[in-house]
Amino acid sequence: MCDRKTPLKLKSKIYRTVVRPVALYGAEFWPTTLKHEQTLHTVEMRMLPWTHRITRLGRVRKEDVRSMFGVAPIAAKMQEARLSWYGHVLRNEDSSVAKTAMNTTVGKDVDREGDPKPDLFELNEGSTTEYLSNLWKQHWEPRMKEYLRRKEHRSKLSGKDRKQKEPTPPSVVGCLLGMFRWEFLSATALKLTSDILQFANPFFLHQLIGFVSSPNSPLWKGLSYAILMFAVSETLRLSCSARREKTIGEIVNLMAIDVDRFQRITAQIQQFWSCPFQILMGLTYLFITLGYSAAPGVVIMIVFLPTNILGSISVKKWQVRQMKLKDERIKMIHEVLNGIKAIVSNNRLKNYFVADELDPGVVERDHKNDASCLMIAAAKDAIEFENFSAAWDSSDSNSTTLQDINLSAARGALIAVVGKVGCGKSSLLSALLGEMGKLHGRIGVRGKVAYVPQLPWIQNMTVRDNILFGKPFDKRRYNQVLNACALKPDLKILPSGDMTEIGEK
């Protein structure tokens, strides 16, 4: 670069592409200060004239030297380099406050081992699923046992005694009220206080007008009314602005709709008594303020009250019919319910909770190979069917699906069950899992059973997300899975390939 015969453009290009990038690259990784920037600036301003054979620098301005080589001040470039690397400029000597704030913020989100802390806080114990599930069992299981006992007692009766009324299933609403009775009572007290305060502002306004109208009223009474009006007004305004409507999540099945209706009705359950209470207080205040002049409005309201009642009964009947039609529509097109009423949800949840459950005693299992299951422990086979007959509905003996099955599977054997469609292959596996009602015979299993159903769980996500199922994306592993399952020809048919959204919705 010191040769006079070397063109200036070549020297400038070498400096811009080799020398200067090395200095800026070091500035990205080394902790530089303002003193370092001034030193590099001085070195650059001595190097550039020397490579161009300019001996008397005083006669040439620094800006002219930079324009010859087409470079900007190195200090500005160093700041840009740090900006692109760190996202901001921090100097060791004049940015200690900013660095401290940054380190404090990052330190709060990272623990001592360098792992990021979770974004969400832990729930309090009263809001956890484990606590609420145990609380539900404490209130629901005694009611359910009593219901099953009365139901079993009725099934043993005969003749006229059997015609007595069937036992009523336990109430979901009653169980919820038992679980949250104290919360309900505290909410009732707060709602009562809120309803009373709704009439506090007009009451104090009426008292303030009376104070202004009376010249003999003491001053402290007017000031008290004014201060109380301001306080009540601010309280009501803040409480209204603090209300938040709960957002409803994505509903994926009918059970989610029913539970969601219970969640939504809890916010309005106080209105059953609050609305009549507010009407009574409003009428009382009207009579106090207007006297007998408020009577015509009350009479009109009473006259039209039967019409409202009849209209509400008619609307309720039509709504019940509408809900039944919607239920039929849902069964045909597998859509979610959008307009179910809370009482219908209550009935559905009760029917779900009192439905027949699987009998774990259908299959004799020996997980620990102890002497508790002598019949299974004495056998050498891992699976054993002995004169086993089963049906999906154990109460109907005429609908037998499996009849007098005798089967044994030795340990370590690989067995394939082959047959035509509908011959009972899936039913045989379901019986092995204990999902069918046993009519007679027995099933013995030694060890544990792993079962992969033929119905996949399709989530409302893309094809790729369903394949990954929450695991990180590994392109090589992902392509291996696609090739092994021969899915690439199928993905070509889809409009967006593996990014096509699938699922019930």
The confidence score (pLDDT) of residue 102 equals 44
Q: How far apart are CA 277 and CA 270, in angstroms?
A: 11
The confidence score (pLDDT) of residue 407 equals 86
Q: In what order do the strands lie in the sheet with 437-446?
A: 363-366, 437-446, 381-391, 402-410
Which pLDDT band, with edges at 50, 70 and 90, does 25 fall under?
low
The confidence score (pLDDT) of residue 63 equals 59
97-118 per-residue burial string, b: 16 or more CB within 10 A, e: under 16: eeeeeeeeeeeeeeeeeeeeee
Whether pLDDT at 116 is above 60: no
pLDDT tens column, 432-464: 888 787 888 888 888 888 887 777 778 888 999
Residues 6 or more apart whose Cβ sits within 8 Å of residue 346: 171, 172, 173, 262
Q: How far apart are CA 150 and CA 138, in angstroms?
A: 19
* Mean pLDDT for the stretch of residues 36-43: 66
Q: What is the pTM of this model?
A: 0.31
Strand, helix or coil for residue 200: helix
pLDDT tens column, 338-387: 455 566 666 767 776 766 666 666 677 765 554 444 444 445 678 888 88
Which pLDDT band, with edges at 50, 70 and 90, does 194 fall under?
confident
Report yes or no: 383 and 450 within 8 Å, Cβ to Cβ: no
Beta bridge partners of 386: 442
Whether pLDDT at 7 is above 80: no
Q: pLDDT: is 207 or 106 the higher one?
A: 207
Which pLDDT band, with edges at 50, 70 and 90, does 30 fall under?
low
Which pLDDT band, with edges at 50, 70 and 90, does 478 fall under?
very high
Which pLDDT band, with edges at 50, 70 and 90, does 483 fall under?
very high
* Mean pLDDT for the stretch of residues 315-321: 82
Report yes or no: 353 and 341 within 8 Å, Cβ to Cβ: no
* Mean pLDDT for the stretch of residues 154-160: 72
Report yes or no: 358 and 177 within 8 Å, Cβ to Cβ: no
The owner of tokens 């709960």 is: 246
Whether pLDDT at 145 is above 60: yes
Question: In CATH, which superfamily holds the domain spanning 360-446?
Answer: P-loop containing nucleotide triphosphate hydrolases (3.40.50.300)
Which pLDDT band, with edges at 50, 70 and 90, does 475 fall under?
very high
Report yes or no: 364 and 445 within 8 Å, Cβ to Cβ: yes
**How many Cα neighbours within 13 Å face the side chain of 134?**
6
pLDDT tens column, 52-87: 555 544 445 555 656 665 566 665 655 555 554 444
Which pLDDT band, with edges at 50, 70 and 90, does 306 fall under?
confident
Q: How far apart are CA 279 and CA 277, in angstroms?
A: 5
The confidence score (pLDDT) of residue 327 equals 65
- The overall average pLDDT reported for the chain is 70
Q: Which of 104-108, 261-265, 327-331 has the highest mean pLDDT?
A: 327-331
24-38, 436-450, 465-479 — which is least confidently predicted?
24-38
The confidence score (pLDDT) of residue 344 equals 64
Whether pLDDT at 99 is above 50: no
Q: How far apart are CA 72 and CA 41, in angstroms?
A: 11
The confidence score (pLDDT) of residue 285 equals 81
Domain-wise residue ranges, the chain: 8-109, 128-170, 360-446, 463-499
The confidence score (pLDDT) of residue 107 equals 45
